[in-house]
Structure 1
Amino acid sequence: MAEQNAKRIIGFVGTGVMGKSMAGHFLKAGYQVLVYTRSKEKAEELLAQGAAWKDTVAALAREADVVITMVGYPHDVEEVYLGEAGIIANAKPGSYLIDMTTSKPTLAQKLYEEAKKRGLYSLDAPVSGGDIGARDARLTIMVGGDEDAFAEMEPLLKIMGTNVILQGGPGAGQHTKMCNQITIASNMIGVCEAIAYAKRAGLDPVRVLDSIGTGAAASWSLSNLAPRMIAGNFAPGFYVKHMIKDMAIALESAKEMGLLTPGLELSKSLYEELAADGEENSGTQALIKWYEKQLGVNQ
């Protein structure tokens, strides 16, 4: 299988904050990589490293053996996969299609069915780990699809991540990512409120993190995003606008299952207020600004 994978041509659609690093790992591993993104300048670094540019997703799909997508929203996923100019209509029979966008579970199931009709293998494989995880090839990758297709693609997925788990059939990867985002949503509120509390109490928030970051309160957000909040670094590892999109998908899916998620609803409302204040393109750690504004705690 390893020898077979080494001969495969990788097509990568979407080279943004995370996609650029993810595609770059295949170049470093010696794969032939084709890339397409709406703004070619976002792919310039990859092209300089040896990737080949394709003008359309159709052209990329016709040449690639494995097509990986990392785009923004469910409507972007539909645009690149469906229709006469999409990936599914143009991919070679026997190709593997891996959507790593956080998208709707129902859409993942639809892509699987459409791909199957054309003799293609489809996996939904959203990720967690942000820009740092993508850069260091330490992403958590949550996969939905057939076991055989997963077994074939697992070595390639492990080029981008260290925690790669098949969660079930089509859509299971996306459902798992919703669990991830639901957890983060409420956790981020706790992180922000802790920092605001520390400042109001006259404590040094950096020293507070030194104490609570290794105890029962420990979390990825506390360790990685709280220091950025304190330093006033709001560059996106993951955009506010994309977090809002993910929470909307999770709420929709939860309601379809008859599940109440009050913590998720609260977090989404706070992020929407933050976006309305012009922070939609900031990193999710910018939620601390809501507290700075509402509680009068100064940076």
Structure 2
Amino acid sequence: MIQKIAFLGLGVMGGAMSANLVKRGYSVLGWNRSKDRPTIASFTSVGGTLAQSLSEAVSDADVVFSCLGDVPDVTEVLIGEQGAINFVKNNALFIDTSTIGSEAAKTIGHVLMQRGLRFLDAPVSGGDVGARNGTLTFMVGGNPEDLQEYLPLFDAMGSNIKHCGAIGSGQAVKLCNQTLVSVYMLALCETMQMAEKMGVDPQLVVDVCGSGAAGSWALTNLGMKVAKGDYQAGFAIKHMLKDLRLVREISQEISQEINPEINPEIHQESDELQNLPIAKDFTADLPAIALAMQNFQKVSQMDEGQGAEQGTQAMIRAYK
């Protein structure tokens, strides 16, 4: 029987996900590095308890969920010198729902398992809407028995839970998901521009095209936001750029394995890679992703860098 759950990271996604666990009757201790995030209220308002320290949150937990930012954040919070690994009880299960790429997931999982702990990488898709409504898709990598044992927890937050393989497999599928999502946004922005030029009601595009072969989550949930210039973030551009950086890294690593003469700089640190020009092999092999990345980067630099905080639908600003 699950005695206690810790949830690390109460942002836009984590705040709503942890709240759904509480609504299902689970005892959840939440923790967030910044105590003034407005999203914490979605957790505490339904009865969730906010821990004052990381150690307090995880010390008695059977399950430790994390929903954090980038690879360094997850690494520090889970396995760093002051990370959760140092305070949990033996055999606790860590479930990371962040998007960090396969290699980082494998590394973190290995460190945890060496300390007698368990790990599932379980990135999500469905945006802030799915997080609030409990309809997220979970892409899970790791021991299927661990997933089966704690499946009710996933069911409290999502409607589609898929085991993808060994540790790192969930992350691999998530990068495929982000590849699709970023290209959808290119098509969505261009479609709304075309509709405007032809005098077509954008709501008609959403209703009609959304019911046919062109239907997608992006069209249904973000189509009118693009048309109306509503750029409030459900999933911020800065986070999409991070995910596409991971896509770029894996693309470059694959190219390096195939031909060691291509792109010898791929083993630099992630923050250095983020500042490198898009490699020729990346642009050639994945031209649509390269274009999406360029457009997101363009918008992220607007408003003195505050464009990065806007939702991915703000890509339309790159066309204007």
TM category (shorter chain) comes to over 0.9
Verify: 1:159 aligned to 2:184, yes or no. Answer: no
Report the CA distance shift for 1:44/1:206 in structure 2 as closer, same or farther (over 3 A).
closer
Counterparts of 1:92-107 in structure 2, within 5 Å, are: 92-107=89-104
Q: Percent identity among equivalent residues?
A: 37
| Equivalent position to 1:254, from 242, 251, 256 | 251
Counterparts of 1:57-76 in structure 2, within 5 Å, are: 57-76=54-73
User: How many Å apart are 1:45 and its aligned residue?
Assistant: 4.1
- Structure 2: runs of 5 or more not aligned: 256-281
Deviation per CA, 1:171-223: give whole Å up to 9, x if none: 00100100000011111100100101111223222223332221221111011
| Equivalent position to 1:133, from 105, 130, 134 | 130
Deviation per CA, 1:83-138: give whole Å up to 9, x if none: 23101222110101000001121110011111111111101000000011001100
After the TM superposition, which of the residue ranges 253-262 and 142-151 deviates more from structure 2?
Answer: 253-262
- Give the distance between the partners of 2:81 and 2:56, measured in 1 at CA: 12
Q: Given that residues 19 and 42 in structure 2 are in contact (C-alpha distance below 8 angstroms), is that contact kept between their aligned partners in structure 1?
A: no
Q: Which residue of 2 aligns with 1:227?
A: 224
- Give the distance between the partners of 1:48 and 1:136, measured in 2 at CA: 16
User: How many Å apart are 1:257 and its aligned residue?
Assistant: 2.0
- Give the distance between the partners of 2:199 and 2:212, measured in 1 at CA: 21
Verify: 1:89 aligned to 2:86, yes or no. Answer: yes
Q: Which residue of 2 aligns with 1:283?
A: 311
Q: Which residue of 2 aligns with 1:28?
A: 23
- Give the distance between the partners of 1:52 and 1:66, measured in 2 at CA: 15
Give the root-mean-square deviation of aligned CA atoms: 1.4
Which letter maps to 1:94?
Answer: N
Moved over 6 A (4+): none
- Give the distance between the partners of 1:173 and 1:218, measured in 2 at CA: 25
- Give the distance between the partners of 1:202 and 1:13, measured in 2 at CA: 47
Q: Which residue of 1 aligns with 2:77?
A: 80
- Give the distance between the partners of 2:36 and 2:44, measured in 1 at CA: 10
Counterparts of 1:237-252 in structure 2, within 5 Å, are: 237-252=234-249
- Give the distance between the partners of 2:226 and 2:308, measured in 1 at CA: 16
- Give the distance between the partners of 1:91 and 1:288, measured in 2 at CA: 45
- Give the distance between the partners of 1:17 and 1:100, measured in 2 at CA: 13
User: How many Å apart are 1:64 and its aligned residue?
Assistant: 1.3
User: How many Å apart are 1:51 and its aligned residue?
Assistant: 2.1
Q: Which residue of 1 aligns with 2:172?
A: 175
Verify: 1:12 aligned to 2:37, yes or no. Answer: no
Q: Which residue of 2 aligns with 1:296?
A: none
TM-score scaled by length of structure 1: 0.92
User: How many Å apart are 1:47 and its aligned residue?
Assistant: 2.6
- Give the distance between the partners of 1:223 and 1:32, measured in 2 at CA: 34
Aligned length, in residue pairs: 287
**Is the partner of 2:150 in helix, strand or coil?**
helix
**Is the partner of 2:36 in helix, strand or coil?**
helix
Q: Given that residues 102 and 169 in structure 2 are in contact (C-alpha distance below 8 angstroms), is that contact kept between their aligned partners in structure 1?
A: yes
Q: Given that residues 112 and 119 in structure 2 are in contact (C-alpha distance below 8 angstroms), is that contact kept between their aligned partners in structure 1?
A: yes
- Structure 1: runs of 5 or more not aligned: 294-299
- Give the distance between the partners of 2:227 and 2:287, measured in 1 at CA: 27
Q: Which residue of 1 aligns with 2:33?
A: 38
| Equivalent position to 2:110, from 113, 123, 141 | 113
User: How many Å apart are 1:31 and its aligned residue?
Assistant: 1.2
User: How many Å apart are 1:163 and its aligned residue?
Assistant: 0.4
Q: Given that residues 232 and 310 in structure 2 are in contact (C-alpha distance below 8 angstroms), is that contact kept between their aligned partners in structure 1?
A: yes
- Give the distance between the partners of 1:206 and 1:22, measured in 2 at CA: 30
**Is the partner of 1:12 in helix, strand or coil?**
strand
**Is the partner of 1:123 in helix, strand or coil?**
strand
Q: Which residue of 1 aligns with 2:267?
A: none
